[in-house]
Chain A
Amino acid sequence: MERSINQIWTLFKKDLLLEIRQQYSFYGVVLYVGATIFVLFLAMDAPESRVWNGLFWVIQLFICINAVAKSFLQESHGRMLYYQSITSPQNFVLSKLLFNSLLMLVMSGLSLLLFILFLGNPVEKVVTFIGLVFLGGWGLSLVFTFLAAIAAKAQQNAAIMAIMGFPLIIPQLIMLMKISNSVFSQAGPAVGTTVMLLIVTNLLIIVLSIILFPFLWKD
């Protein structure tokens, strides 16, 4: 147990270090976030709350695809062989999930900040909404991390990831949009059940990744 936690931590640190060393990919995503939201700002300043909500989650989806897609594609064949000799598939996929969750949390926070700066702030319950943004970003990153693993094995570009991912992510997005509609007024309905459902979905994705990733791991 302790050994696998150590391994996960080391792999996670490796990814973090790579991200810091090769800054172009991180700043590439940041630029993507900034540019998209700026274009939205030019197209429509201060949209009404329903539109704001819809735009926000769609942008989250695209940011997630861009941020997470490279996580497995950047690993060359030789490097994968090396990982296979030093660690187990479960530890490897867990470290990837952890790293991508962190990356997506940063990006979600950043895009929320930019949204509020550029497109106005229709949110009344700010703390609840920040919680929802992080929960949603986490869920998106988990799904797309596993799909990136599949796409990398299929030796395909990001297009196949979008084809596989959109149908899978729609239920989560519907739930997120539905509950985040309630933060735009103080007297919104309670969101407890749906939040629980989202958390359960996320845990399910982690469990499925741990079970299914070993089959993708070796040729």
Chain B
Amino acid sequence: MERLILFPRAFPPYFCALNCFLINFFMKKNWWKILSVLLLLYTIIGGLLFEVPRVMILNETIRNLYFHVCMWFSMMILFTVSVVNAVKYLNKHDLKYDILSKQYATVGIVFGLLGYATGAIWASFTWADPNQTFVASFGAIAKDPKLIGAAIALLIYFAYLVLRGSIPDMDKKARIGAVYNIFAFAFLFPSIWIIPRLLESLHPGGEGNPALNPKDIDARMRMIFYPAILGWTLLGVWITSLKVRMAILNEKKLLHS
């Protein structure tokens, strides 16, 4: 590997690019970032071009599965990582875990909002009544239990950010934030996984878990769907890692000034 870095300038540019790629891949442990980009490229190209089953009403909008559902998967994974870091903070009292916990929650919120945006596009083609005004359709759609559950999840984490913002002391903020994060996560579960199953809903997934049940998804779609989940989640982790590095730099600036 040493020799790869020491290639002279005389080599053609594509060789340097390859060299750069190899160094990034093997030496800086950045292989997962490259994997994320590749998976997302595959998701976007394959998701828009590959064969999908013809389903009534859904038609071509079925391709939104690779984007909309993956956003919620990523959000849940990021929130779970956030709560794990909160537990670690309470155990070890290391501010690093607090920063991780906060940043994972923030990026989770972004993914939740993107999930809503993609869901709104989907709903406008499948659920909305074209003969009614936008406001009338919106009122009917917004009552859906799945949407309410997701709204509760986002509200919980907005409240988490407000709570953190209201405490000036750094250690106290971290401790109280972690406690609320863990407490709220216990409620997140029923609001997303149990309540929507008790109430009737237009949204698919009333019985069991349609996204993970192989019988419900066509084999051709699974070929893209599972890599897509991984790709989006890795992208979320990547964004978070950048935000964490920025937050740590800011903390250092605060401490040394």
Give the interface segment out of B52-60, B76-84, B193-201, B221-229. Answer: B193-201
A208-B186, A215-B90 known; A164-B179 Cβ under 8 A = no
B31 in the interface, Cβ–Cβ < 8 Å? no
A192: Cβ under 8 A from any B Cβ: no
Contact between chains at A208 and B162 (CB < 8 Å): no
Residues of A within 8 A of B182 (CB): 208, 212
Contact with B along A97-117 (1 / 0, CB 8 A): 000000000000000000000
Q: A153-B172, A174-B195 are in contact. Are A201 and B190 (CB under 8 A)?
A: yes
**Shortest beta-carbon distance from A69 to chain B in Å:** 15
Q: A175 on the interface (CB 8 Å rule)? A: yes
Contact of B198 with A219 in the complex, beta carbons under 8 Å: no
> Using Cβ atoms and an 8 Å threshold, which residues of chain B touch A160?
162-163, 166
**A165, closest chain B residue (CB):** B159
A216 contacts B176, CB within 8 Å?
yes
What residue of chain B has the Cβ atom nearest to residue A167's Cβ?
B155
Taking a contact as CB atoms under 8 Å apart, the answer to whether A150 and B159 are in contact is no
Is A87 an interface position by the 8 A CB rule? Answer: no
Closest CB-CB distance, A16 to chain B, in whole Å? 27
The reply to whether the CB of A194 lies closer than 8 angstroms to some CB of chain B is yes
Given contacts A208-B183, A212-B183, contact A168 B156 (CB under 8 A): yes
Could you say which residues of chain A place their CB within 8 Å of the CB of B191?
170-171
Q: How far is the CA of A174 from the CA of B151 in the complex (A)?
A: 14
A57 CB within 8 Å of chain B: no
Are B166 and A156 within 8 A (Cβ)?
yes
Q: Are B176 and A150 in contact (CB under 8 A)?
A: yes
CA distance A205 to B184 in the complex (A): 10
Report the count of interface residues on B (CB-CB < 8 A): 29
Q: Mark B170-191, 1 if CB is under 8 A from A, else 0.
A: 0010011011101110110011
Interface contact B163-A164, CB-CB below 8 Å: yes
Chain B residues with CB below 8 A from A81, complex form: none
Q: How distant is the Cα of A175 from the Cα of B145 in the complex, in angstroms? A: 12
Say whether A14 faces chain B, with CB atoms less than 8 Å apart. Answer: no
Interface residue A43 (Cβ < 8 Å from any Cβ of B): no
Number of residues from A at the complex interface, CB < 8 A:
27
Contacting pair B183 A167 (CB below 8 A): no
Encode A182-219 as 1/0 by CB contact (under 8 A) with B: 00000000000010010001001100100010011001
Is A154 positioned at the interface, with any CB of B under 8 Å from its CB? Answer: yes
Is B152 part of the contact surface with A, judged by Cβ < 8 Å? yes
| C-alpha gap A212/B186 in the complex (Å) | 12
Q: Give Cα distance in the complex from A192 to B104, angstroms.
A: 38
Total A-B pairs, Cβ < 8 A: 75
Take A160-B166, A178-B198 as given contacts and tell me if A170 and B183 are in contact as well, using a CB distance cutoff of 8 Å. Answer: no
| Residues of chain A lying within 8 A (CB to CB) of residue B175 | 215-216
| Known contacts A178-B199, A204-B186, A163 near B90 by CB under 8 Å | no
Residue of A nearest to B194 (CB): A197
Interface secondary structure of A, over-half rule: helix
Report A-chain residues with C-beta under 8 Å of the C-beta of B198.
Answer: 175, 178, 194
Most buried by A among B90, B179, B184: B179
Which single member of A167, A168, A171, A208 contacts B195 (CB below 8 Å)?
A: A171
Does A150 lie within 8 Å of B184, measured CB to CB?
A: no
At the interface, yes or no: B239 with Cβ under 8 Å from chain A?
no
Which of A153, A155, A167, A219 touches B156 (beta carbons < 8 Å)?
A167
CB-CB under 8 A from A154, the residues of chain B are 163, 166-167, 172, 176
| Separation of A208 and B90 alpha carbons in the complex (Å) | 14
Which of A167, A175, A219 lies in contact with B172, CB distance below 8 A? A219
Nearest CB in chain B: distance from A172 CB, A: 8
B residues in contact with A208, CB < 8 Å = 182-183, 186
A171 lies within 8 A of B176 (CB): no
* Bound-state Cα–Cα, A153 to B183, Å: 15
| A-side contacts of B180, CB under 8 Å | 150, 164
Chain B residue contacts of A212, Cβ below 8 A: 179, 182-183
Please name all residues of chain A whose beta carbon is closer than 8 Å to the beta carbon of B172 when the two chains form the complex: 153-154, 219
Q: In this assembly, does A146 line the interface, its C-beta being within 8 Å of a C-beta of chain B?
A: yes
Partner of B179, one of A156, A174, A201, A215: A215
Q: Which residues of B contact A156 (CB under 8 A)?
A: 166
Question: Which residues of chain B come closer than 8 Å to A201, judged between CB atoms?
Answer: 190
What are 13 A-B interface contacts by the 8 Å CB criterion?
Answer: A146-B183, A150-B176, A150-B179, A154-B163, A160-B162, A163-B159, A163-B162, A164-B163, A167-B158, A167-B187, A168-B187, A175-B198, A197-B190
